[in-house]
Structure 1
């Protein structure tokens, strides 16, 4: 299994799930090569593309509303030959009718302020026993998501990850934003 490095992605000015967080997020989805997956708030497409490469017999659907991010996803999709990646343009709740089928895993990287409704509506498309993994920078969205997931009877776990990397010739450590990773298993 090969994970794509951050510097391999074309990024532009769009937010991107960093390499270490991307690896932990995807590992918690427990992927198999034929899975049908969903990425809500796909940004540059780093998670979508990595999932597409790990599930060559499956399909990944990425939802993104930002115009610049959509252009970056398209370029990255072509660069990495992620032919099993479908990109849907729009806000997650507005494009809900376009998103067909059930999913073996759902990743939520962005919510546009609608995290509770996204969890409730898209959770209906998650196969029982499978996972929804959500990443957060803010405690407010973390709380809203965990509260909603508990209300819906998901089995919920949260981990907080802090990553620092060396920079420059002196190897000074530079910290990235700590990220909360919520792993929610659908039991009902």
Structure 2
């Protein structure tokens, strides 16, 4: 499996799931070549584009509300020659009626402050015994998500990941934000 590096994506001022977190999060989704996957809060599309490459015989649906992010997703789709990605423009809870069920995996990268409702409503669109993977920077959203997932009787795993990288050609280490990666298996 070949992963796309951060510097290969066309980037703007929108948040992007960093390479190491992207690889880890996708591995927690446990997708196959023919999987059907949903990416909520797609941002620049780094997760969606990578998933579309991995799920080459399946399809990926991305939901994003930000205009610049939508433009970047389209630019990256063209750059990586992606044909199995559907982009839904809009806020996740408003777009829900346009999204069908039966996903093999769901990734939540952004929630717009609606994490509890997103988990509850989109959890219904996930197949039984399938994975929802969520990324968080804030403890507040992590706590809310863990409570909702517990109440939904999901089997939950949470890891905290801190990535430090050398800066340019020096041996000076630069830290990225610490990220919480949650994997929830639907009963």
Q: TM-score, normalised by structure 2?
A: 0.99
3-state DSSP of counterpart to 2:97: helix
1:72 and 2:72 are equivalent in the alignment:
yes
CA distance in 2, matches of 1:117, 1:34: 28
Question: Unmatched 5+ residue regions in structure 2?
Answer: none
Residues in 1 aligned to 2:168 and 2:179: alpha-carbon distance in whole angstroms: 24
Moved over 2 A (4+): none
Distance (whole Å) between structure 2 residues aligned to residue 66 and residue 171 of structure 1: 36
Secondary structure of the residue that 1:122 maps to in structure 2? helix
Matched, 1:85 2:85: yes
Aligned to 2:174: 174
Paired residue secondary structure (1:95): helix
Corresponding residue of 2:99? 99
Determine the structure 2 residue equivalent to 1:113.
113
SS class of match (2:23): helix
Q: Residue 53 of structure 2 aligns to a residue in which SS?
A: helix
Q: TM-score, normalised by structure 1?
A: 0.98
Aligned length, in residue pairs: 187
> What RMSD, in angstroms, separates the aligned Cα atoms of the two structures?
0.6
Residues 29-58 of structure 1 show CA distances to partners (whole Å, capped at 9, x for unaligned) of 111000000000000000000000001110
Distance 1:170 1:103 in 2: 44
Offset, 1:102: 1.1
Distance of 1:79 and 1:39 partners within structure 2: 19
Measure, in 2, the Cα distance between the counterparts of 1:89 and 1:40: 11
Q: Which residue of 1 aligns with 2:144?
A: 144
